[in-house]
């Protein structure tokens, strides 16, 4: 009974706070971004106290389901969107951040139930670093990192995010942990740099989900690592930053596209290991080769939306494997995802830009994906990949390329991602059920 009373009180706190922000917005003529971030900070502050109010997981799940349902209604019911939802939807960009936020809170609470500091740090970063960066970027941002159709991301906002994220990580560690202070500083540095890059390349508010989960994943897997290991990770981060600067001048990727590729690379090495990174590395290395880029392709910028579609399916399976502590099961999906996308990308390049026939393009794409992505990735993997798993991956690549070849629009990023994700997931399911 007490839990239900607390659930009602929390929901009233959340709804009352949003109502107060709406009232202040009308009276003080707040800008849309200011009102949106005021609501963001208020909700974040309320959810920070959930570990103090609830001992069990189910009440927070109930609150999350209610909040998510309400946000869906506000988004898709036009009258609600124009009235109450104006706080969230008046900004001139399409964002699903308000839907990701309650999902992130529930997942964090469920996963970090007995380690409150691992719940608080990701939420502090999401609440204060994100809001501060957005407000500074809108008010003072003059140096844009984005290009083309990418969401505007200012260097000024990025620096603000970095500094606030560092403090949001370091202060709770100083208060609630007993590890060496130098280790705390290194953990705070690594996390702040990592989440700043993630925030820069996140798409349509997905940072509200990615930042807390990635912060939690780093903390839960590397919190007790020795000083030497943390220094090595910091050097990797610095090397990534330097490579960003150099490669950006030579790559056909946009600046944020390069950042997306490199942060994805770092996360794969961090959470999976170097053996997991072979297939993604070869995918990026051989993308402009076999065949070589045509003059038409060199004029096409690979922005971070495209790069995200290349990497997202594989990263999802890696994160799931880490979170459920069953990486060996999900490696087959990870390798399948990158091999399938390698095949799809190769087919598009052979068929559209080199004007090969459909059958010839399928054959060459399958050969490139299997020989340059799957085979090295499978041999490098330190675990055992069964013959059945290998056959399933090759069949998934063939199915993915065939589906794209029979569609009217070949370069449809969302559709190609969906094909990759579903086929790689199906590969995991069939392998676990029948082999």
Cα distance between residue 152 and residue 92, in whole Å: 11
At 89 the pLDDT is 47
**Percentage of residues in the chain having pLDDT higher than 70:** 77
- Domain-wise residue ranges, the chain: 1-111, 115-247, 249-435
Interval 47-73 mean pLDDT: 83
For the record, the structure tokens of 23 come out as: 């009232």
Q: Looking at mean pLDDT, say which of 28-32, 142-146, 194-198 comes out highest.
A: 194-198
| pLDDT tens readout for residues 323-381 | 787 888 899 999 999 999 989 988 988 888 888 888 999 999 999 999 989 999 998 88
At 386 the pLDDT is 84
At 171 the pLDDT is 93
- DSSP type of residue 352: I
Cα distance between residue 371 and residue 342, in whole Å: 11
Query: Which is more confidently placed, 79 or 179?
Result: 179
Bridge partners (DSSP) of residue 144 are: 154
At 72 the pLDDT is 76
Residue 76, classified by CB atoms within 10 Å of its CB into exposed (0-12), middle (13-18) or buried (19+), is: exposed
| pLDDT tens readout for residues 170-206 | 999 998 888 888 889 999 988 988 888 778 766 677 7
Q: Output the average pLDDT for the chain.
A: 79
Whether the pLDDT of residue 428 is over 90: the answer is yes
At 331 the pLDDT is 92
Whether the pLDDT of residue 424 is over 70: the answer is yes
Please spell the DSSP secondary structure of 235-301, one letter per residue. Answer: HHHHHHHHHHHHHTTT-SB-HHHHHHHHHHHHHHHHHT-HHHHHHHHHHHHHTTTTTTPPHHHHTS-
Whether the pLDDT of residue 121 is over 90: the answer is yes
pTM over 0.85: no
Q: Is the peptide bond before 92 cis (omega within 30 degrees of 0)?
A: no
């Amino acid at each position: 009974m007490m839990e239900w009373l607390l659930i009602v009180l929390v929901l009233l706190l959340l709804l009352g706070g949003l109502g107060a922000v709406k009232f202040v917005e009308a009276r003080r003529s707040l800008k849309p971004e200011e009102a949106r971030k005021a609501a963001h900070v208020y909700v974040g502050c309320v959810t920070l106290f959930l570990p103090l109010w609830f001992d069990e997981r189910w009440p927070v799940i109930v609150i999350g389901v209610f909040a998510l349902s309400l946000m869906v209604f506000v988004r898709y019911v036009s009258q609600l969107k124009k009235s109450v939802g104006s706080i969230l939807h008046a900004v001139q960009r399409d964002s699903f951040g308000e839907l990701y936020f309650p999902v992130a809170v529930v997942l964090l609470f469920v996963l970090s139930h007995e380690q409150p500091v691992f719940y608080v740090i990701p939420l502090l970063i999401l609440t204060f670093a994100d809001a501060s960066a957005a407000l500074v970027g809108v008010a003072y941002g003059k140096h844009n990192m984005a290009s083309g159709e990418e969401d505007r991301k200012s260097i000024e906002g990025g620096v603000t995010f970095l500094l606030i994220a560092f403090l949001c990580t370091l202060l709770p560690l100083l208060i609630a942990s007993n590890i060496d202070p130098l280790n705390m500083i290194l953990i705070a540095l690594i996390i702040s740099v990592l989440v700043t890059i993630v925030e820069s390349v996140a798409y349509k508010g997905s940072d509200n989900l990615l930042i807390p989960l990635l912060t939690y994943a780093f903390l839960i897997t590397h919190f007790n690592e020795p000083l030497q290991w943390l220094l090595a990770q910091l050097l990797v981060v610095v090397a990534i930053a330097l490579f960003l600067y150099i490669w950006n001048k030579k790559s056909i990727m946009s600046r944020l596209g390069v950042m997306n590729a490199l942060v994805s690379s770092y996360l794969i090495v961090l959470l999976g290991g170097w053996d997991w990174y072979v297939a993604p590395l070869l995918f990026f290395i051989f993308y402009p080769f076999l065949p070589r880029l045509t003059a038409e392709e060199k004029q096409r910028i690979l922005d971070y939306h495209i790069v995200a579609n290349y990497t997202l399916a594989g990263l999802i399976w890696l994160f799931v494997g880490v979170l459920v502590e069953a990486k060996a099961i999900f490696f087959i999906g990870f390798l399948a995802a990158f091999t399938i996308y390698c095949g799809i990308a190769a087919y598009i390049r052979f068929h559209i830009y080199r004007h090969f026939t459909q059958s010839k393009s399928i054959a060459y794409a399958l050969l490139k994906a299997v020989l340059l992505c799957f085979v090295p990735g499978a041999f490098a993997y330190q675990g055992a990949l069964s013959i059945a798993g290998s056959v399933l991956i090759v069949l998934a690549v063939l199915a993915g390329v065939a589906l794209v070849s029979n569609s009217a629009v070949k370069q449809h990023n969302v559709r190609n991602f969906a094909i990759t994700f579903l086929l790689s997931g199906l590969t995991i399911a069939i392998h676990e059920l029948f082999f």
